[in-house]
Amino acid sequence: MTLKQFVSYKVMSLLQYNSYEQYVDHFISINDVRYLRNWKLSREFIQNACSKSCMGRLLSRQEYIDQRNNEEGIIKPLGISAVMLFGSSYKGNDRVLQQFAAREQLLLNKKTIIFLITRSSKGLEISGFIDLEQCFRESRFRNSEHYVDWPAIFEGKAKLTPHKHHLSYFEWNTSKVRLNDSDNFKVVQEGAHSLLMMHRGDHKMICVNPGCFCSFAKNATRSMHNSSIYGHCIFFDHVIRRSI
């Protein structure tokens, strides 16, 4: 286990994982899988290697369940509902906000990336890819580092914008780009594709390059929607086809 993985283990919340398998996968790198050539074998190796001797010992399945239940118990007194839907009461006609509201329920079993081009508070154009499922989930906790006020967004009082912690963040005036992995996706830069997203659940590669019709592009359904608030917004919907 690397120092970076150990540090992330100490600070991560188990609520960000939907299953024990997803929690274990947090400790597996793409290089591990390429070396062993088998994801299931990589998972078994990590579990055996880290069950007793690694720093920040890997939790057993029962320990994971118990600690995750404890975390859920901590937030319940705060009145935070895990089934609360921010967009359930949205009745407006903005096409992009309608798509946000429609996808919120679907994101329980579907993972969506969105691409936004917008302007900063200084009037400068910025764009980025956002893990929509993670954005909704993190916003259920007001003390979250990346909290987004979704009720205000659906009320038209605030606007969703790309930030430097998202999957990608591009400042057009400086041509500076930042790339980050999210809970659901790993960013992969590979040859002519320039930018791919690998889903952590089923390990499908998603090509987000406009106009590309490679095999990876088939792993997500693209749709563009116009909005008076957001202009053009592109949604990449990836359906998880199998669990591992």
In this prediction, residues 112-127 reach a mean pLDDT of: 81
* Average pLDDT score over the chain: 77
DSSP per position, 45-71: HHHHHHTTSSSS-PPPHHHHHHHHHHH
Degrees (nearest 5) of the Cα angle 3, 4, 9?
Answer: 95
Q: What is the pTM of this model?
A: 0.65
For 188-218, the pLDDT digits (tens) are 877 666 789 999 888 899 988 877 778 888 8
